Amino acid sequence: MRTIAHLSDLHFGKINLEVVEALLFDLDLLRPSLVVISGDLVQRARRCHFRAASAFLERLPAPWLVVPGNHDIPAYNLIARFIAPFHNYKHYITKDLNPFIMDDEIAILGINTARSFILNFAHGRINHNQISRIEAAFHAIPPSIFKVVVTHHPFLPPPGINGKSLLGRARLALPALESCGVDLLLAGHLHRGFSGDIAEHHQQVERSILVAHAATATSTRLRNEPNSYNFITIASPHVIFEERAWTGNKFSTSERTTYSRSHHRWLIIGD
């Protein structure tokens, strides 16, 4: 069994400090096997914002895997944005923009979908090299190992949001995700928490792939829902998604969904 605390959109520089402390307390209590952060660690890609994000990472009670988001690239300093967009991210967070970790139960690959170019700045993009990287990372790994891809920008729209806010070239990556047996996609960016199946939107995918989006864990950039994160338990053949939401004085489970794998499908067996 493995447990993942899936956080996203921390936005250091625009955070609620009380929520940050409560989140660290909650993680300390639940002790996940791994913390995954799907981008937007900071609000404005300034050094002081990244220093605060880095201090947060040092306090996490588990190993972590992080990918950048669009806010981790300078927005207004155009020289920095186009010449060295990840300079501060690499200096304060990690030099590895496409991290990969694996043990005998789980393999997780992060893909950097944040782009400097104006057309893709908000929505991000995945490119051919990154799709090849997904295939190379997973194709030889047996189905018994649970495979996860982490991006900042989403492959699946949350309920009630149209597909225009999806990752650029998402459809191009779907055959690779399907053929190399990816089980779960983790993302953020829209500040909306939910879990689902990619086949709900992309009917061309025949094998189901689970999707979980995390809302903003710590920021005040709320979009009609409280700060929250996902606590995911992977205990084959089951996967349990728990949304841990801020209640005003602590994080607690607001929603729980259990999926069970049946051949090529993930079926909901309980809430």
Tell which positions 180-199 bind Fe ion, by CB under 5 A: 189
Instruction: Output the smallest distance, CB 126 to Fe ion, in A.
Output: 15
Return the range that interacts with Fe ion (CB under 5 A); candidates 2-10, 57-65, 157-165, 260-268: 2-10
Using CB under 5 A, which of 13, 32, 69, 74 touches Fe ion?
69
Give the 3-state secondary structure of residue 26: helix
Residue with tokens 């950039």: 221
Distance of alpha carbon 75 from alpha carbon 77, whole angstroms: 6
The minimum distance between CB 164 and Fe ion, in angstroms, equals 15
Count of CB atoms within 10 A of residue 172's CB?
Answer: 14
* DSSP element (H, E) containing 253: strand 251-262
Residue with tokens 């710590």: 218
Given 40, 72, 178, 183, the residue binding Fe ion (CB under 5 A):
40
Report the site for Fe ion in 92-121 (rule: CB under 5 A). none
Contact between 213 and 188 (Cβ < 8 Å): yes
Complex with Fe ion: residue 2 or 189, whichever CB lies closer: 189
Query: What's the min distance (Å) between Cβ of 80 and Fe ion?
Result: 18
Q: C-alpha angle 82/153/206, rounded to 5°?
A: 135
Asked if residue 26 binds Fe ion (CB under 5 A), the reply is no
Minimum distance of Fe ion from residue 122's CB (angstroms)? 7
Which residues in 3-22 contact Fe ion (CB under 5 A)? 9
Give the Cα separation of 124 and 112 in Å (integer): 9
Q: Which tokens hold the place of 60?
A: 């996490």
**CB closer to Fe ion, 70 vs 112:** 70
Residues at the contact surface with Fe ion, assessed by CB under 5 A: 9, 40, 69-70, 189
